[in-house]
Structure 1
Amino acid sequence: MSRVAVLKIGVGDFSEGFDASLQFWSDNAPPTEEICSRLPGNLKVRAFYELWHSAYLTLKPIIPNSMRSKNDNSVSEIGQTTNRASSEGVSACRQLARSLEAEMKSWLMSGGTWQPIREGLLKELSNKMGEIRIILQINNPDPVLWKLPWHVWDLLQDDDGSDLEIALSSSEFKRAKVLNKTGIGKEKVRILGVLGDSTGINVQTDREEVERLSSADAIFLDEPQPQDFLKQLRSEIGWDIFLFSGHSEMVAENGRIYINQNSSLEVSDFRNSLREAIGKGLKIAIFNSCDSVGLVRDLAQAGLYIPVAIAMREQVPDAIAQAFLKEFLTEYASGQSLQTSVRRSRDRLEDWEQVWPGVTWLPVICQNPAEVPPTWQELSGNSISKYFANKFNFNSGLINFWFSSKLWLIAIVIFMSVITVIIVLEQKRIAIQPENKINSSKISDNAAQSWQLYEETTEGIRIKYPQDWQLQKIQDGFSGEVARFIRTQENNLTQQQLILNVETLQQPITLEAYKNLVIKQIKRSNEQVNILENKRTILDKREGYLIVYTYKEGASTFQRMEVGVLNWQKVYILIYQAEMNQYQHFLPISKAMINSFEIIESKR
């Protein structure tokens, strides 16, 4: 369970200061502590921001691109730039950016009434147990508070290289109501992309970056008519991510997106369709367009409590919008958290700081404090190692309802008491030696010799299995599942099965680190998981890991034994699974199957 620090900026102004408080939460739990204080006034911060903002808007593209703003005057025709920024203008803007950052750091290092919050946050950050998310909740109408570079706060500059990122939130929030969970059983992240008015900019690059993701299923609308956009937004298939690329701007304090050259929409124009999309599971909205942080504020004011939105604080040059989206999708789809993905993508925009001083400030996360930001794997229905797809078909809506009621604590106490007794009895019967091959002495050599051989030359593996077990060849290159060996008892729908997975690693990792990732994902997959064993073992003369655990699925309790081994850049995983009352009966056969597993030369 990750921790959340919520810093609230309330009543006040830059002259007299702001009321402030700091709360510490755990995911899906009420605040455990609150520190009330006050952030002193600092007129220099606002003055430096306004000076930098004015200087930034006078800069014109030095390469053929344009702002993603409808009223950008820097491009007369596509590819033709005018009034290019002088080196003096860029230098002045850079100096103002540095001055603003320095003043922000000084402001947030203030003592006096601000010191209790600094000390409270510093204490929480020094606790390295688990991930921490930091949310700045702005309960003040001054829009400048949304535009400032809060990330330069000295407390967020972690010496160990952690990618701490501060997210913004409005004062209005609550957990989104998911009325129709359409994502059960899916294997890819569903993305609806709207490529709006592209006058002077190239939004097709955004499309290409999304479409190169093998784990995404995207539909794009090119300059759609309003009715076509609204119809697709509330589609029955449901979306995980909504992406808008094109021109947007603030008009009379309201955000506006231009979905084609002649049509524009405010949040109020697509409020009902967006609410329906959130009810079907929409988790993330990305507005890769100018001044889009104003759109996010409008969402909350309209009662649209989307879990996460990513927006731009200011007008954004087209090339920088393209660069940010590319870096973000790469990081996020590789398994990084959403906060880390945005932080790293922002930092990499420093390549453009010589041309556009301050562009590393532009992307910002807008976080609903009542929600937990999803990982890419959670959106796709897959775990970190992808082989958990369709293994745990949990109804998260039911789980959320159950744990929000007052009966869950009593049920957990009773359940854990019963399970503890069962586990003590079952552990006495488990005979797995951590330093040797998995014990399968109950299976005779003659019986094992009569088994059938399954050999997969593409993956370079082979394994023996009993004749009364059914082989199902999967060959799912996305999830990594290669085959299943299933035995269904007579007059019983219960299945015992052995699952074989082969995963290709994107980067080197130690056996211990990989095992820890697996355990973390197991615990996240189900609230009612109990790890029985966690140790080293031997698989095909190679050192591997062994994890035994129980979990609940509906009214049934299942037990699993997972054995995995690393070999070069691949992980070979075998999972034996059965209902708890049948687990021990078929355990010797499953161990013998696992011990017959061999890694041979791959033909890939």
Structure 2
Amino acid sequence: MPKTCFLRINFGNFDKGFDITLRIRGESEPLGDPEDTLVVTNGRLSKCPELLQKYQDWQKKFTGLEANYRGIKFKRISGLNLDQYRQECREAHTDLVLSFREWLKSSQFRNVEDELRTHLQAEDEIEFLIQTDSDELRKMPWDTWEFIRRYRKAAIGITPLGYKRIPQYKVGEKLRILAILGSTKGVLNLTEDRKVLESFSGAEVCFITEPKREELAKLWEEKWDVLFFAGHSSSQPGERDYIDINKYDRLPIIELENTLTEAVEKGLKLAIFNSCDGLGLAKRLENFHIPQVIVWREPVPDMVAHTFLKAFMQEFSQGISLYMSVRRARAKLKETSDGEKMFPGVSFLPVIIQNPLIEPLSWPVDAPLEPITNLPTLQPDEDEKQVPKPQDRKKLFMFGGSAIAAIFLLLIVQICLIKLEEPKKQYDEAEKKLNKAGNLVNRGLSMEAGQKLNDVQRAWKTYRDDQCPFESSITGNKLQLNVRKFSCLTRITEERTKEFNSYVQKQKIPAGGTNYKIAEDRQKQVYDRLVTKSTAYEQKRENAQESWMKFRDVACEFEGKFVKNGDEKSCRIRETVQRSKELENSLK
């Protein structure tokens, strides 16, 4: 289960800045349960009125290119030729992205990134939800944020400030999709949408093409997992949001309120609007509590929409999570098609709108993963259906022996995994307690102290992650190595949690001695003995010692300056005595 981050943007505007709150929810925590939140921290996004103007500059040029694709003569839009106009659009998009990244590098936002890097690993799968009702903020290119680019398993979604818990229903053996192919007026080619959906046998798709209103009764009569719409749609400020279900009927979304609410109550989990200008539609659909909606932020050419849909379905039908499927589909749209070249900026336009109290939809476990490779079945000839010949019996016995060996090996692997399960579980529990304790400490700190604590925790994490591989490497087989590594991680994490709890309770932590020089001499003696004993892991040992010293220095400076009843000298004695015990443990 992925970790979920919420960046709640509470109040403000681009002229004055925004107040923000970061919340990180762990992998095993109940959805929407604030008590089990790993981290809560506050920050601010500085004012940046020019950012909104840069978006509008790019938007104007992008919509001009899209209008030209639909047949509006380009000379009506600009005196430039098409290639020149496209280059201007590309430059405007680059300017927007660079300005957006700079905005997120402001000093007031730095503590948010620090918390993210402290509590998230590069290999974590992360659903990052921008929690806002602002149309302007929802349009920003959040996927281009440096943090998201560096964490390759992180993906962005949007969530409203208010949401409602609804019942969750399991998907059956196949994903049931109701696909509405609306009006094809203009240059729309909806045949491609149909071909894409039909090509995935792991889903049961029902198509209704240019339906009359009464055909939408299917949403009342049957249970659907996904509602798909392709065609014309619009959501302009001050106007009603609508979809063209056929050539003659422009249907306001508000008139589907009861129909879509009924579909959600029956189990509708995802709505995909592969149509133009979907942010307004998504905002309207939030009122009907559809768990997830995928839309486009701006009008897009149907050729681009087809490319994205195909890439998304290829990923999603392989069992990839909804969020990662969207991220990977956007990357394919940008790098393996002409979409980004022809319409600069188009790849960041698909977006997920998420109810954070509902688990994102996943491809059914029992459904076949796509694409299915049709391998021929090899049928023996009649004269080959015989008892093995004598010369083949030895081969058969050898094959049977290999199979038994393989089964035996699998059993050994399973036993090893079982033995590792409890140490890993203990470490996960220790990590959870540490995060809770750290969160309590952070709540009572000033911004300066909070930033300093972030520095301390980064140093502590480096020390822990250097110490445990070294400590576990001085052992026997690989199973023992992994068990000892988790034991080390748990021990160091629990020690840090005790320190945090003492900070919160404002208790003086016993130093374990009164003379720093004696403690330091003792620590050096033990370290020298370890050097003599262990020469095979010199680099790991040196890394662990160096990172511990850095942690001790910044931790004790913090404790002396910001912790009530804290004392830097006492802290140095305590950490040094504790280090001696740790090194002695490595000698055993």
TM-score w.r.t. length of structure 1: 0.58
Give the stretch that moved more between structures: 212-221 or 260-269.
260-269
Residues 1:337 and 2:321 aligned together: yes
In 2: Cα distance, 1:370 partner to 1:139 partner: 17
Residues 1:367 and 2:354 aligned together: yes
CA distance 1:315–1:243, change in 2 (3 Å): same
Higher strand share: 1
In 1: Cα distance, 2:325 partner to 2:98 partner: 25
Q: Secondary structure at 1:376's aligned position in 2?
A: coil
The runs of at least 4 consecutive aligned structure 1 residues that moved more than 6 Å come to 383-386
In 2: Cα distance, 1:152 partner to 1:313 partner: 15
2:300 to 316, 319, 322: 316
1:201 corresponds to which letter in structure 2?
L
Kept after mapping to 1: 8 A contact 2:177/2:227: yes
Structure 1 residue aligned with 2:102: 106
In 2: Cα distance, 1:22 partner to 1:151 partner: 17
1:34 to 33, 36, 40: 40
1:147 to 139, 151, 154: 139
CA distance 1:190–1:48, change in 2 (3 Å): same
> Alpha-carbon deviations, 1:185-216, whole Å to 9, x = none?
x4211100000011121011101100110111
Structure 1 residue aligned with 2:403: 539
> Alpha-carbon deviations, 1:468-511, whole Å to 9, x = none?
xxxxxxxxxxxxxxxxxxxxxxxxxxxxxxxxxxxxxxxxxxxx
Higher helix share: 2
Kept after mapping to 2: 8 A contact 1:61/1:84: no
Structure 1 residue aligned with 2:10: 10
TM-aligned CA deviation for residue 139 of structure 1: 3.8
> Alpha-carbon deviations, 1:368-404, whole Å to 9, x = none?
11111122125xx559899xxxxxxxxxxxxxxxxxx
> Alpha-carbon deviations, 1:508-538, whole Å to 9, x = none?
xxxxxxxxxxxxxxxxxxxxxxxxxxxxx97
TM-score w.r.t. length of structure 2: 0.60
How do 1:550-589 and structure 2 match up within 5 A?
Answer: none
> 5+ residue gaps in structure 1?
67-71, 76-81, 387-456, 461-536, 551-604
Structure 2 residue aligned with 1:271: 257
In 2: Cα distance, 1:84 partner to 1:376 partner: 47
In 1: Cα distance, 2:378 partner to 2:368 partner: 24
TM-aligned CA deviation for residue 126 of structure 1: 3.0
2:234 to 240, 243, 249: 249
Structure 1 residue aligned with 2:52: 46
Structure 1 residue aligned with 2:119: 124
> Alpha-carbon deviations, 1:282-307, whole Å to 9, x = none?
1111000011121111112x2x2222
> Alpha-carbon deviations, 1:318-369, whole Å to 9, x = none?
1000100010001110111111111111112223222111101111111111
Kept after mapping to 1: 8 A contact 2:126/2:153: no
Structure 1 residue aligned with 2:179: 193
Kept after mapping to 2: 8 A contact 1:61/1:85: no
> 5+ residue gaps in structure 2?
372-376, 381-400, 419-588
1:245 corresponds to which letter in structure 2?
A
In 2: Cα distance, 1:324 partner to 1:74 partner: 26
How do 1:26-105 and structure 2 match up within 5 A?
Answer: 26=26, 27-29=29-31, 30-31=33-34, 32=37, 33-60=39-66, 66=70, 73=72, 86-105=82-101
TM-aligned CA deviation for residue 19 of structure 1: 1.2
Structure 1 residue aligned with 2:289: 305
1:287 to 241, 253, 273: 273
Q: Secondary structure at 1:369's aligned position in 2?
A: coil
Report the RMSD for the aligned CA atoms in angstroms. 3.0
Among the aligned pairs, what percent are the same residue? 32
TM-aligned CA deviation for residue 458 of structure 1: 5.5
Rg: which structure is higher? 2
2:309 corresponds to which letter in structure 1?
L
How do 1:156-555 and structure 2 match up within 5 A?
Answer: 156-158=148-150, 162-178=152-168, 186-199=172-185, 200-229=187-216, 231-236=217-222, 238-251=223-236, 252-300=238-286, 302=287, 304-350=288-334, 351-378=338-365, 381-382=366-367, 539-542=403-406, 545-546=410-411
What number of residue pairs does the alignment pair up?
377
2:227 corresponds to which letter in structure 1?
F
Kept after mapping to 2: 8 A contact 1:137/1:171: yes
TM-aligned CA deviation for residue 88 of structure 1: 1.2
